[in-house]
Amino acid sequence: MEKLMAALKAQIVEQLNLQEVKPEDIGDDQPLFKDGLGLDSIDALEIIVLLQQHYGIRIANPEQGPEIFHSVRTIAEFITAHQTAK
């Protein structure tokens, strides 16, 4: 889980071109959207593609985004659950 979360942080910083944010600056439970890291709905769509590219996970309904993408930990949990389910 720790390893997965570290990888996710690096991927998020890279994919979203988060200038002046280092992967280690992102807390495991820090909210990613709004007042947390300040991401928005466009970033949510970027993360959906990121999960597809790196983890082979498809999210067909963007409405699921806010729940799954709450924090790095919730994304990691979703990935783990989804990959074991396969």
48 contacts 67 by C-beta, under 8 angstroms: no
Using the Cα atoms of residue 41, residue 45, residue 50 and residue 52 in order, give the sign of their dihedral. positive
Contact string 11-50 vs other proteins (x = CB under 8 A) = ----xxxxxx-----------------x-xxx--xx-xx-
| DSSP code per residue over 41-55 | HHHHHHHHHHHHHHH
Residue 1 interacting with other proteins (CB under 8 A) = no
Please state the closest distance from residue 2 (CB atom) to other proteins, in A. 27
Residues that bind other proteins (CB under 8 A): 15-20, 38, 40-42, 45-46, 48-49, 52-53, 62
